Structure formats: structure tokens, C-alpha cells
């Protein structure tokens, strides 16, 4: 399966326009943002767990990072409420579930194979909250004031996911849980909406994908 797999192109996916697709696990549905592969895939996905649903225990050979958007996501290490950011590097394993339901943004098989850094933290805070940074990538949550203009430097590629609020880029409006991917070599600008915006931003990681 290939979904938005041409990393030389700008891609925008709007939450309300993207259909839920059933996963192999009962009660777990997905909205695919990009994907290369079938069940084992390099993927960026919004995943919705119905109350009481779970995935079988599995190992993340290529790593996993996720942001909890709604509800409470769970595994053997604890409960992760809205605003939790987690990095499970390659070789880690878990049994994900959501006793009362949850929705997460998750990225799979996109880690440096030698990365062993585990992170569990909240995205809450003012200004820019840096979640992770190494020589390969930079992951942040940024809080944009109403009407603020932001330079989007996608020299090595960039993804922007709207957690709250809205912004406009290249004449296109983005609101809650919409996603924008800019290819390497791109320079653009975003203008935050009337209520500002809280956005998850990942950069640097698409270098070499085109």
C-alpha cells in the first residue's frame, strides 16, 4: 500500500475529508496520512480506539512515536492522557489499549535504527515546547498567537499537524487534526487563525526521502 508516498510533493490531508478505515484489531480505526507498506509500514496515521479495544502485543522494529489527541491511551507502562507525547524506539514492545477510548497521532518505522531514546512527556507549555531533537530530526509543539505569521523552513522537509486552533498556508486553511507535509527544499509561511494555533511540528526527517 502506498498513500501520499511521493515525498517530493506538498501534501495536505484534512481530517473531515479523510475516511476512517478498519484495522485488523476490533474497534480500532485509522485515518492514513502517509504510508508505504501494508500492516508493517512506514506510516503516519490518526488512530481511534473504541472503548475497551486493544492491539495484540508487538515489537516496534522501526520505532514508534505518538501524540494523544483524545481520551486516555494505555499500555504496560501506564496511562497517557490528552497531550501526552511518547517515543518508543526500535526494539521496544508493548500492548496498546484504551479502556475508555482514545485517539492518537502515530508515526511508525521512521526512527534512526540506532536510536534508543525513550520519551514520555506532556506537550503543555507556552511558546515552543521541544519534545525531541538529535542530528536527524527536531520535534516540537509550537503555540502561535492569533494572526501571527510563521516561517516554515522545510529545507530538510517539514510536517505540521494542528492540535488546536487553525492556520492558513498557501491559501489553504488548516484546522483541528489537519496535517500538512512540505517536501525538502521548500520555504513557506503560515498565518495563525483568529484563535491562534497549537501545532505539532517535525522537521529534518525527510532529508534523503526524495
What's the distance, Cα to Cα, between the start and end of the chain in Å?
18
Mean pLDDT calculated for residue range 98-106: 96
Percent of the chain's residues with pLDDT above 90: 74
User: Residue 210: what pLDDT?
Assistant: 58
Contacts of 151 (CB under 8 A, 6+ apart): 187, 189
User: Residue 144: what pLDDT?
Assistant: 97
Q: Give the CA distances from residue 36 to residues 3, 47, 50, 113, 135, in Å, rounded to whole numbers and listed in that order.
A: 7, 17, 25, 17, 24
State phi, psi for 17 to the nearest 5 degrees: -95, -5
The grid cell for 50 is 473504541
**Residue 57 or residue 185, greater confidence:** 185
The grid cell for 93 is 514492545
Percent of the chain's residues with pLDDT above 70: 99
For the segment 105-146, what is each residue's pLDDT rounded down to a tens digit? 999 988 888 888 999 999 988 889 999 999 889 999 999 999
At residue 138, the 3 state secondary structure works out as: strand
Mean pLDDT of the chain, nearest integer: 93
Q: Is residue 60 predicted with pLDDT exceeding 80?
A: no
User: Residue 185: what pLDDT?
Assistant: 95
Half-sphere exposure of 189 (CA within 13 A, CB side): 6
Mean pLDDT calculated for residue range 198-205: 96
DSSP string, 48-96: EEPTTEEPPPEEETT-EEEEEEEEEEEETTEEEETTEEEEE-TTEEE--
Q: Is residue 26 predicted with pLDDT exceeding 70?
A: yes
User: Residue 82: what pLDDT?
Assistant: 97
Which structural domains are found in the chain, ordered by start? 2-122 (2.60.120.10), 128-203 (2.60.120.10)
For the segment 150-187, what is each residue's pLDDT rounded down to a tens digit? 999 999 999 999 999 999 999 999 999 999 999 999 99
Length of the chain in terms of residues written: 210
The grid cell for 161 is 499537524
Q: Is residue 77 predicted with pLDDT exceeding 70?
A: yes
Cα–Cα dist 183/157, whole Å: 5
User: Residue 188: what pLDDT?
Assistant: 98
User: Residue 126: what pLDDT?
Assistant: 84
Q: Is residue 39 predicted with pLDDT exceeding 80?
A: no
Q: How many CB atoms are closer than 10 A to CB 170?
A: 12
Q: Is residue 55 predicted with pLDDT exceeding 90?
A: no
**H-helix or E-strand containing 172?**
strand 172-174
Amino acid at each position: 500500500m502506498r498513500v501520499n508516498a511521493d515525498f517530493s510533493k506538498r501534501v495536505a490531508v484534512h481530517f473531515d475529508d479523510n475516511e476512517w478505515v478498519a484495522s485488523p484489531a476490533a474497534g480500532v480505526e485509522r485515518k492514513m496520512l502517509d504510508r508505504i507498506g501494508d500492516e508493517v509500514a512506514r506510516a503516519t496515521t490518526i488512530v481511534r480506539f473504541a472503548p475497551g479495544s486493544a492491539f495484540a502485543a508487538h515489537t516496534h522494529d522501526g520505532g514508534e512515536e505518538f501524540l494523544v489527541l483524545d481520551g486516555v491511551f494505555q499500555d504496560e507502562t501506564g496511562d497517557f492522557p490528552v497531550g501526552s507525547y511518547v517515543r518508543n524506539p526500535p526494539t521496544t514492545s508493548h500492548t496498546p489499549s484504551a479502556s475508555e477510548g482514545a485517539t492518537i497521532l502515530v508515526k511508525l518505522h521512521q526512527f534512526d535504527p540506532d536510536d534508543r531514546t525513550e520519551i514520555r512527556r506532556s506537550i503543555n507549555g507556552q511558546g515552543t515546547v521541544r519534545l525531541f531533537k538529535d542530528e536527524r530530526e527536531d520535534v516540537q509543539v509550537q503555540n502561535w498567537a492569533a494572526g501571527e505569521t510563521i516561517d516554515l523552513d522545510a529545507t530538510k522537509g517539514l510536517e505540521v499537524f494542528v492540535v488546536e486552533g487553525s492556520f492558513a498556508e498557501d491559501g489553504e486553511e488548516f484546522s483541528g487534526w489537519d496535517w500538512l507535509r512540505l517536501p525538502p527544499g521548500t520555504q513557506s509561511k503560515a498565518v495563525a487563525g483568529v484563535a491562534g494555533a497549537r501545532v505539532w511540528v517535525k522537521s529534518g526527517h525527510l532529508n534523503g526521502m526524495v
